[in-house]
Amino acid sequence: MGRLRWRRWLLIVAGYLVAVAFIALSAVAGWMYWDRVQTRGEQEARAVLPAKAAKEIPEVFAYDYQTVERSLSAAYPLLTPDYRAEFQKSANNQIIPEAKKREVVVQANVVGVGVMSAKRESASVMVFMNRTVTDKSRQPLYDGSRLRVDFKKVGKQWLIAYITPI
């Protein structure tokens, strides 16, 4: 009888150990999978966003007073819905009226881009931009800017979530 009890106790302990080992291995495998997903997302952001920022930032900042509404309307889909609403308000209240009043033409060129931080669903990019602003006085004003551009992944698309001058 003592041997039977000992075997039963040994089987119970072995069963618990197998269950604990299975749970631990599942947790480790899950952690490794999630880490790989995060790393790949970060790598994708670092690979894609510098070129995307270099292309899209001039589209957001460059305009001609004769076509300013069309230029800015073309830039709206590049922005997240929250930032788009804020940007449209600023464009309608300040940028468009001022551009037409002063006959402003803005040319924007990105001269450098670097990734500041990147995650699977968001990233921040530093953009170095040169602008030439000409108004009806025809005296060009040259301006260099550093911008922090925050991107957010919406679905499968990276959109500009915020632009902060630095």
Q: Can you give the pLDDT of all 166 residues of the chain as single tens digits?
A: 577 788 888 889 899 999 998 999 888 888 888 878 788 888 999 999 999 999 999 999 999 999 999 999 999 999 999 999 999 999 999 999 999 999 999 999 999 999 999 998 999 999 999 999 999 888 899 999 999 999 999 999 999 999 999 9
Q: What whole-number distance in Å separates Cα of residue 112 and Cα of residue 137? A: 30
Domains, the chain, ordered by start: 44-165 (3.10.450.230)
- 118 — alpha (psi -120 to 50), left (phi > 0) or beta? beta
Residues in a beta bridge with 100: none
